[in-house]
Structure 1
Amino acid sequence: MEYSVVISRFDPEKDRSPYYQEFLVDAAPHERVLDVLLQIKSEQDSTLALRKSCGHGVCGSDAMLINGENRLACSTLVKDLESNRIKVEPLPGAVVEKDLIVNTDPFWKKYQAIMPYLINDEPPPDRERLQSPKEHEIIEESTRCILCGACTQACPTSWANEDYLGPAALLKAYRFIFDSRDQAKQERLRKVASDHGIWQCYTAYNCVEACPKEIDITWHITRLKKASLGL
């Protein structure tokens, strides 16, 4: 089946602003948008710039705006778009470096700010720090995050406030704040309850709709709000 693939193009070395370019591609319905983009890059325009790595919905590197929704190109089948016209753009709200590649430095800076690692000053055990299934259940959903950035770049607060930590960083903070093995709960709570943290979330639920792992991010942020109030 032939698809019309309209891609946002931008090369800062020669373009003053982004523009759209159309490609006609023959693809089977079960193929992924990533397959279509790589076919274009291989057969029609080798200058097309995009990020991709594992290709299996694990690394999160190929998040982009596909037919108006933040999605993973490697997890989106062309048949599921229910149209023979595919429009592909970089994630909204981020600085475009080239074509479908955005600058992720601000995203990772906010991620690092919440100390995304286990903090425990007790002497390490011989094997590992144990956690019961019930304790792990509290954080299990948050551990599914692949840090693709789709949620953060779908968030209206992130668009309006460049200092806002964003859904992904706050979700990762939840993952450690509620980890029974971690000892830095209060320090992290102070960080997420700052002027650019949890209280800037207005429960628009854009992050939930954008998450490719179907994580209820807004629920987790609400839990952080309650924890910061001692509830």
Structure 2
Amino acid sequence: MASASSAEASVETVKIKLPEVKIEKRDVVFKVKRYDPEKGSFYWREYKLTITNRTTILDALLRIKETQDSTLAVRYSCRMGICGSCGMVINGTPRLACETKPYDLGTSVITVEPLSNVPPVKDIVTDFDKFFDNHKQVKPWLIRKDEKEQFEDLKEYYPQTEEELNYYLQFSYCIKCGLCYSACPLVFLNKEYLGPQALAQAYRWSADSRDEGAELRLKIVDTDNGVWSCNYSGTCSKVCPKDVDPALAINMVKKMLLSGKRR
């Protein structure tokens, strides 16, 4: 019987050669649109920074804050495109700063602005209270007629089929970053409009086969400030970092209302 040491010696070592990553550097000017809450006004500030092809916008802003201007206010959390906290307008387009690399934008001047359609708090940080109020209005949770079952039962409602899951799965990837809300021209024109994020979630929960509250939810969005305010510009879907496609979801809600069918 072979000893443990001889058995270990017989195991071949597999070496994996990782591809070499070429690090490139470039000098970039960051033009940041900042907001002064005491004066209630915006102003621009420029910062010069040397970045690499692996630097993200968020990396750059945090380095500026650490080495050049500690007063710069930036909101962020996970740095992995999951939390949605670092949404901002970069070179005119709403993007996640943690997923956007200056090097990929192909320009030596990067403009950074707070998201549109939401009130500024300080610099690039914005107030999402109305955004989340709109989200809550569509009741973004499973509604069950039996409340005891909903809050006290310890078993699943019932197994969903893959087909049932696919009706809403794409729309469950929303991270509430607000990019679609910022890009929507209708939110700019109608401050009472629920917006693409909330309406997409109205579809996500109404299309869920476990949900029993579609009728209630659809009454909430069947208004001039709901789905009928959308004229399908498609900008919301274009900027979504998770390919949720809120414009499609809004059209699906309209289909539900016109057909009287959930699917």
Interval containing the TM-score (normalised by the shorter chain): over 0.9
1:216 to 220, 245, 253: 245
Equivalent residue for 1:10? 35
Deviations 1:198-230, CA, capped at 9 Å, x for gaps: 000000011011111122221111010010112
Larger relative contact order (CA 8 Å, sep ≥ 6): 1
1:127 to 150, 155, 179: 155
- Distance (whole Å) between structure 2 residues aligned to residue 114 and residue 197 of structure 1: 10
1:186 aligns with 2:215: yes
1:154 to 163, 166, 183: 183
- Distance (whole Å) between structure 2 residues aligned to residue 128 and residue 53 of structure 1: 32
Equivalent residue for 1:30? 54
1:114 aligns with 2:138: yes
- Distance (whole Å) between structure 2 residues aligned to residue 119 and residue 220 of structure 1: 19
Pair member with larger Rg: 2
The two structures have a TM-score, normalised by structure 1, of 0.96
1:177 aligns with 2:206: yes
Deviations 1:32-77, CA, capped at 9 Å, x for gaps: 1000000001111111011101111011011000000000001111
For structure 1, list consecutive stretches of 5 or more residues without a partner in the other structure.
Answer: none
Q: Tell me the CA shift for residue 16 of structure 1.
A: 4.6
1:228 aligns with 2:257: yes
- Distance (whole Å) between structure 1 residues aligned to residue 191 and residue 85 of structure 2: 21
Alignment of 1:37-48 (within 5 A): 37-48=61-72
Alignment of 1:40-59 (within 5 A): 40-59=64-83
- Distance (whole Å) between structure 1 residues aligned to residue 79 and residue 73 of structure 2: 16
Amino acid at match of 1:64: M
User: Percent of pairs identical after alignment?
Assistant: 39
Equivalent residue for 1:144? 173
Equivalent residue for 2:102? 78
Task: Name the SS of the counterpart of 2:121 in structure 1.
Answer: strand
For structure 2, list consecutive stretches of 5 or more residues without a partner in the other structure.
Answer: 1-25
- Distance (whole Å) between structure 2 residues aligned to residue 136 and residue 222 of structure 1: 19
Equivalent residue for 2:43? 19
Equivalent residue for 1:68? 92
Task: Name the SS of the counterpart of 2:36 in structure 1.
Answer: coil
Q: Paired residues, what number?
A: 230
The two structures have a TM-score, normalised by structure 2, of 0.85
Task: Name the SS of the counterpart of 1:45 in structure 2.
Answer: coil
